[in-house]
Chains A and B, each alone.
Chain A
Amino acid sequence: MTLGAVLRKIFMVDILTGMSVTFRHQKQADVITEQYPLERPVIAERYRGQPRLAVDPETGETLCNGCGMCVTACPEKLITVTSERDPETKKKKMTTYTLDLSRCMFCGLCQEACPTDCIELTQDYEMALYSREGMVLSREQLEQGPKPTVYER
């Protein structure tokens, strides 16, 4: 052992260096904790979260034309659409729409397939529930879209 190493040991230089490191880290500016329900992270635009069905913002009618492209596109086969032909306009009209979120892997293929940009994946990620049944989203739930809880202390 060299003299320097011995002196380092006697005066506990390494121990004091370590202690100065922890002391300097005490300043509040270093804290990287996010107070989650109060502070939320910024979610990227292209994040694929809970799906929703878009409605026409003026008339409030669904954009879905009941074509069923999303049903065929879905690799997990978790979307079911029923539709009927409108006797007056002779156009297909969507009647019910269910999406089983519990099996969804958020691949976004339904969004790609949709010709009217009706189904889309939102940036919402709070999907925890107490029952499996609740994970099957109905047309109304999908059209209302995700409603994240707003927390205050």
Chain B
Amino acid sequence: MEPLTRYLSSNVTPGEAGDMLWITIYILIVFAGVSVAVICMNWLERKILAHMQIRLGPMRVGPHGLLQPIADAVKLLIKEDVIPAKADKLMFWFAPLIVVMTAFTLFLVVPFGRTHAVTDMNIGILFMLGASSLSVLGVIIGGWSSNSHYPLLGALRSSAQMVSYEIAMGLAIVAAVLMTSLQTGTGTLSMIGIVESQAAQQTWFAFQFFPLGFIALVIFSIAMVAETNRAPFDLPEAESELVAGFMTEYSGIRWSLFFLAEYASMMAVSSIAVTLWLGGWLRPFPNALGGHAWDVAFSLVPGIAFLGLAAMCLLGAIRMPKVGALRVQTVGLAGFGVVLGLVGLVMLLPGVRERVQDIFWFVAKASIFMYLYIWYRGTFPRYRFDQLMKVGWKVLLPIALAVLILTALVGVRQELYAVFAGVIR
């Protein structure tokens, strides 16, 4: 019981407390959570994309194809593991590992709540940027070691794209980091510090110096799509031109590692956007709907959301046709609903809900970005390579620079006014 009480009494992350046991537990939880989220995301993407294209998507495996990702995972795991004869075996074997490891390492500093992060680095956002750029290496190695035309072309495109969009992305991030130095005079690069300074300034950075913060968010949310090689910037794996880009020669489990890494890094960059501009784990409307009563009301939302999901599952189980072959599915769906309902009830408990609501709001905000990824993919055609470069260098980069300079000027003006007005901070 001692570790549990130690954990419950601590109000910093396990990394800050130097608590090895809870660091390990948190790493395992984050790893499992991200993997499960990738599975859910796989299903959601296929369903939502299908509905946008007036199709149904997976329908056969489980109710509404809910078990389809599991079926796919089993298929990928038992597939023959092909390494091309002319490929560089070691590098070919190594590339997916680099991509996966960098994608999961990013989650070390992602703040799911004030106490819900593996650790809090004072250079958190730099660490995120640095580690996420390492995945370019994996992509290049994967494409080059395959010793084949399409993977090489795809890898070159991918590296050019990732490197050039990193600049606009970095400038947008700097604009947000500048905002953390308002009022205090010293900014911070720590992910938790950034969210806390948003709480101290009583505004999310997306609405700070409107529209400057918002423009920075828009630039980041465009650059992050290009950075993770997703549609409409999915040139490295443009099916119609390059088969599957740098992943062409990969199959089975190695391919699924690339897939896992792609979705994990999508989630990582979404959580950067949430942390920097959308107030991280802070609940919405802290100013307009402030006060104790609203705090309690908002802390009930996660439990109610889970109960709503449970009600949907149970309703689905009741509405399932009463056929013998569907019995297992009906029982499974009802059981899933009951589990969700129990989780929802636990989340309504007073002691639990204060700790859990941080995670809920963070994940809810990040899932907006995940939905946007699918939405973009369902809407936009792929850019040509010169258009991609034009958007990156001629549009996003100047706008990001302008936003950065304007943010600095407006911030300095505000601080000077505060000095002249004699505001003590």
Interface residues, chain A, CB within 8 Å of chain B?
15, 18-19, 21-23, 25-28, 30-33, 35, 152-153
Cβ–Cβ contact A19 & B323, under 8 A: no
Cβ–Cβ contact A22 & B325, under 8 A: no
Q: In the complex, which residue of chain A has the Cβ closest to the Cβ of B52?
A: A22
Contact of B56 among A15, A27, A33 (CB under 8 A): A33
Q: In the complex, which residue of chain A has the Cβ closest to the Cβ of B218?
A: A12
Q: Hey, which chain A residues are within 8 Å of B323, CB to CB?
A: 152-153
Cβ–Cβ contact A19 & B379, under 8 A: yes
B55, B59, B379 pick with most chain A CB within 10 angstroms? B379
| Interface membership of B380, Cβ < 8 A | yes
A-contact bits for B348-381, CB 8 A (1 contact / 0 none) = 0000000000000000000000000001101110
Q: Hey, which chain B residues are within 8 Å of A25, CB to CB?
A: 51-54
Cβ–Cβ contact A31 & B51, under 8 A: yes
Cβ–Cβ contact A152 & B52, under 8 A: no
Distance in angstroms from B293 CB to nearest chain A CB is 34
12 contacts between A and B (CB under 8 A): A15-B380, A18-B380, A21-B379, A22-B378, A23-B375, A26-B52, A30-B54, A31-B54, A31-B55, A31-B56, A33-B56, A35-B59
A18, A19, A26, A30 pick with most chain B CB within 10 angstroms? A26
Cβ–Cβ contact B325 & A152, under 8 A: yes
Q: Which residues in chain B, 378-410, are within 8 Å of chain A measured between CB atoms?
A: 378-380
Q: In the complex, which residue of chain B has the Cβ closest to the Cβ of A30?
A: B54
Q: Hey, which chain B residues are within 8 Å of A26, CB to CB?
A: 48, 51-52
Cβ–Cβ contact A18 & B379, under 8 A: yes
Cβ–Cβ contact A28 & B51, under 8 A: yes
Distance in angstroms from B81 CB to nearest chain A CB is 32
Report how far A32 CA is from B50 CA in the complex, Å. Answer: 11
B: number of interface residues (CB 8 Å): 17
Q: Hey, which chain A residues are within 8 Å of B326, CB to CB?
A: 153
Report how far A22 CA is from B323 CA in the complex, Å. Answer: 35
Q: In the complex, which residue of chain B has the Cβ closest to the Cβ of A18?
A: B379
Q: Other than the known A18-B379, A23-B52, A33-B54, what 12 A-B pairs have Cβ atoms closer than 8 Å?
A: A15-B379, A19-B379, A22-B375, A22-B378, A23-B375, A26-B48, A27-B51, A30-B54, A32-B54, A35-B59, A153-B323, A153-B325
Q: Hey, which chain A residues are within 8 Å of B59, CB to CB?
A: 35
Report how far A27 CA is from B52 CA in the complex, Å. Answer: 8
- The 3 A-B residue pairs whose C-beta atoms are closest, nearest first, are A26-B51, A33-B56, A22-B52
Q: Which residues in chain B, 228-277, are within 8 Å of chain A measured between CB atoms?
A: none
Q: Hey, which chain B residues are within 8 Å of A21, CB to CB?
A: 379
Q: Hey, which chain B residues are within 8 Å of A18, CB to CB?
A: 379-380
Report how far A26 CA is from B323 CA in the complex, Å. Answer: 29
Q: Hey, which chain A residues are within 8 Å of B52, CB to CB?
A: 22-23, 25-26
Q: Hey, which chain B residues are within 8 Å of A35, CB to CB?
A: 56, 59
Cβ–Cβ contact A22 & B54, under 8 A: no
Report how far A152 CA is from B320 CA in the complex, Å. Answer: 13
Q: Which residues in chain B, 306-339, are within 8 Å of chain A measured between CB atoms?
A: 323, 325-326
Q: Hey, which chain B residues are within 8 Å of A22, CB to CB?
A: 52, 375, 378-379
Distance in angstroms from A18 CB to nearest chain B CB is 5
Report how far A25 CA is from B54 CA in the complex, Å. Answer: 7
Report how far A32 CA is from B54 CA in the complex, Å. Answer: 7
Distance in angstroms from A8 CB to nearest chain B CB is 15
Q: Hey, which chain B residues are within 8 Å of A27, CB to CB?
A: 51
Q: In the complex, which residue of chain B has the Cβ closest to the Cβ of A28?
A: B51
Q: In the complex, which residue of chain A has the Cβ closest to the Cβ of B60?
A: A153
Q: In the complex, which residue of chain B has the Cβ closest to the Cβ of A153?
A: B325
Q: Hey, which chain A residues are within 8 Å of B51, CB to CB?
A: 25-28, 30-31
Q: Hey, which chain A residues are within 8 Å of B53, CB to CB?
A: 25
Report how far A28 CA is from B48 CA in the complex, Å. Answer: 11
Q: In the complex, which residue of chain B has the Cβ closest to the Cβ of A35?
A: B59
Report how far A23 CA is from B54 CA in the complex, Å. Answer: 11
Distance in angstroms from B59 CB to nearest chain A CB is 6
Report how far A33 CA is from B65 CA in the complex, Å. Answer: 15
Distance in angstroms from A38 CB to nearest chain B CB is 9
Report how far A58 CA is from B379 CA in the complex, Å. Answer: 61
A-contact bits for B127-148, CB 8 A (1 contact / 0 none) = 0000000000000000000000
Report how far A32 CA is from B53 CA in the complex, Å. Answer: 10
Cβ–Cβ contact A19 & B54, under 8 A: no
Q: In the complex, which residue of chain B has the Cβ closest to the Cβ of A24?
A: B52
Q: Hey, which chain B residues are within 8 Å of A15, CB to CB?
A: 379-380
A-contact bits for B48-82, CB 8 A (1 contact / 0 none) = 10011111100110000000000000000000000
Q: Hey, which chain B residues are within 8 Å of A28, CB to CB?
A: 51
